[in-house]
Structure 1
């Protein structure tokens, strides 16, 4: 399980992703002042391991996830989804992921082929609002965490 602190100010803040024991596993550097709304995900030593940025020209909000410098996925909002928010994490090949649920309250699941691979749940920890990300064993944790961060970028934009 990973814990991501919800930002108090805006997406431009830096913050850490920790494990259940509170150990920092990743650092997220928010670069929203950049034209593309970009997040850089670093390992504890400060090395960039992934990034998320918004495509400037697209019909619907689209975010590209890069891992190790390579394009790993695109996160897109579904155009028409009554009653629930839905996003797709489009990965190369047939194993796309779907995020569904009450995304604004950070209560959603990520599924592949109808099988749950991760769940995100808002929790109260100390005085800070955080959300927990539970990822099934054998999944690409970095890809799923980057997908959740892309979702955060999309939801933080008021004009989409």
Structure 2
């Protein structure tokens, strides 16, 4: 399993930052654009080719994000947080099914459920 690292500014209007692999190599870049309402970020590879866009739904009780891939052969998906106490529960909705991540909020250790099977992440 690969690990990636990034540093994001807390107070910002726009932002551009790299995502580094385990060796410190710049693998991806994130560009956040200024919006009065909502959130939008574009993720590109090391060669500045846009891979996907992330948009946050404006009016929702819990965060909902829409992922749109630049490569139209890949289907778009939705990421939705679920209400859970002292745990984290996230649904990833895709055309061919749903992945549910459930895990320990403090340790960031998660179990992934897909089509009735699970595996551990973290």
Q: Is the 8 A contact 2:5 2:21 kept in 1?
A: no
CA distance in 2, matches of 1:42, 1:94: 26
Q: Normalization by structure 1: what TM-score?
A: 0.60
RMSD across aligned positions (CA):
2.5
Which residue is equivalent to 1:29?
A: 31
Paired residues, number: 115
Q: Is the 8 A contact 1:29 1:41 kept in 2?
A: yes
Which residue is equivalent to 1:83?
A: 86
**CA apart distance, 1:64:** 0.3
Q: Structure 1: 5+ residue runs without aligned partners?
A: 120-160
More helix per residue:
1
Q: 1:60 aligns with which of 59, 62, 71?
A: 62
Q: Structure 2: 5+ residue runs without aligned partners?
A: none
Q: Normalization by structure 2: what TM-score?
A: 0.75
CA distance in 2, matches of 1:59, 1:9: 22
CA distance in 2, matches of 1:77, 1:55: 12
- 1:19 to 1:10, Cα distance in 2 relative to 1, 3 A: same
- 1:22 to 1:60, Cα distance in 2 relative to 1, 3 A: same
Q: Is the 8 A contact 2:20 2:27 kept in 1?
A: yes
Relative contact order, higher structure (CA 8 A, sep 6+): 1
Q: Is the 8 A contact 1:2 1:17 kept in 2?
A: no
| Partner-residue secondary structure (3-state), 2:96 | coil
Max radius of gyration: which structure? 2
- 1:38 to 1:99, Cα distance in 2 relative to 1, 3 A: farther
- 1:100 to 1:6, Cα distance in 2 relative to 1, 3 A: farther
